Amino acid sequence: MNNIIDTEKYLNALDLSDFKWINPKDIVVSQWVRVKCEFGCSDYGLGTCPPNTPSVKECSDFFKEYSRALVIRLNKVADRNNYPSNWSRDMTNKLLKLERHVFLQGHPKAFLLNQTCCCLCKDCSGDRLSCKDKKNSRPSPEAFAVDVYQTVKNCGLEITVVKENPGEMNRIAILLIE
């Protein structure tokens, strides 16, 4: 219980105050998400994206190894023609600090599913083996076949598709804790 309170204080200190605790068994994993990654995402094939990630079944099994998860919603008004890369990198760094904080609380299995495809390097090497920052690169929930829309809806948060440009985008990160 103390770790939860401490984690929530740390989330607020990082200005990551839009979150929900969930049971990882409530994370919805679906094959269609992987298909959308392969056919429809320009980041497919990059270092933390499929096919450089476990199979859909392995992802589903992975979540069963955890007893708690934090779903963290990040909001930003953005122009789809000018993705806010600096903001995204800043959010990734905050989320990595959170993962490290939870790890140091005595949770060695703490693992972050980042709010977007890895964005730490301005020039991605394009594959996992030649990644310049393997220690900090993390896959997105979608790379692990998470149906983000249904998972977020199930935990009582809202997520919207950006219909107007510019518009508010929601990014979702998931921190797994055991």
Tokens of 151: 């998972």
pLDDT in tens, 70-100: 999 999 998 878 888 889 999 999 999 999 9
The answer to whether residue 124 scores a pLDDT higher than 80 is no
Say how many residues make up the chain.
178
Q: What is the mean predicted confidence (pLDDT) over 21-35?
A: 97
Q: Which of the pair, 117 or 168, is modelled with greater confidence?
A: 168
Categorize the per-residue pLDDT at 2 as very low, low, confident or very high, splitting at 50, 70 and 90: confident
Domain of 111 in residue numbering reads as 2-177
Asked if pLDDT for residue 1 goes beyond 70, the answer is no
pTM: 0.93
DSSP line for 34-71: HHHHHTT-TTTTSTTSTTSS--HHHHHHHHTT-SEEEE
For residue 172, the 8-state DSSP code is: E
Axis crossing angle, helix 85-104 with helix 2-13, rounded to the nearest 10: 160
Number of domains into which the chain is organized: 1
Which candidate, 152, 9, 18, 42, places its Cα nearest to that of 91?
18
Residue pLDDT, tens place only, 94-118 = 999 999 999 999 999 999 999 988 7
Q: Which of 35, 33, 45, 66 is nearest to 142 (CA)?
A: 33
